[in-house]
Chain A
Amino acid sequence: GEDVEQSLFLSVREGDSSVINCTYTDSSSTYLYWYKQEPGAGLQLLTYIFSNMDMKQDQRLTVLLNKKDKHLSLRIADTQTGDSAIYFCAESTGFQKLVFGTGTRLLVSP
């Protein structure tokens, strides 16, 4: 079955880069997604990558995909305190269903 795994916690200093990692199991996933959840709120789509791409850049965000190892990462450049949140990766499987990872809580200290 599908399984998406992430480390639970990451702590960085303001201005540093953050790298959040994710591994997934379904090799047939067409798109992979990164969502952000701020405290007390629902999830919001940050970015996504098509499975035949290796990299996607979107302002401070860089997504890297290693399809052979089924590994996805999200790099946030110049991390700010406002980036503190929980970040979820997700893979699309089957008919319009998303399978979410466990989420990584990012804490940015001044």
Chain B
Amino acid sequence: NAGVTQTPKFQVLKTGQSMTLQCAQDMNHEYMSWYRQDPGMGLRLIHYSVGAGITDQGEVPNGYNVSRSTTEDFPLRLLSAAPSQTSVYFCASSYVRGGVNEQFFGPGTRLTVL
């Protein structure tokens, strides 16, 4: 199993450009999430999905779109990149067993917006 994969690993964008961060998992997990990690602020939830076709907003959704057409894939779209979106982005998938929600994280995408 590859687990959770993310592409690209690094990306530099200019202000106003759009792009899609890819995330895929091969563990057949129902739940998937996108987080951003900024220094001193921990991880903040951007969007999440509880199954194919179902998505919802997290703590910091503005400027990002998601869709979940399959169980495996959960892409994150930046509509018009801004310098405030410079961050490290993590995708996670999870399952719940006995009430315990164990999240499996991808290696991250480091994004710089100039």
Contact = CB atoms under 8 A, between A and B. Distances in A.
A98 B101 contact: yes
Given A88-B42, A88-B43, A96 B50 contact: yes
Contact of A96 (B4, B40, B101, B107): B101
A84 to B, nearest CB: 18
Contact of A41 (B40, B94, B102, B107): B107
A102 B103 CA distance: 17
Determine chain B's interface SS by DSSP, over half rule. Answer: strand
Interface string A1-21: 000101010000000000000
A15 to B, nearest CB: 29
A30 interface: yes
Contacts of A96: 31, 48, 50, 94, 96, 101
B107 A42 contact: yes
Contact of B42 (A41, A44, A97, A102): A102
Contacts of A30: 99
A58 B104 CA distance: 20
Interface of A: 4, 6, 8, 30-31, 35, 40-45, 48, 50, 88, 92, 95-103
In the complex, the 8 A-B pairs of residues with the closest C-beta atoms, listed nearest first: A42-B105, A102-B42, A100-B43, A43-B105, A100-B42, A45-B102, A103-B42, A96-B31
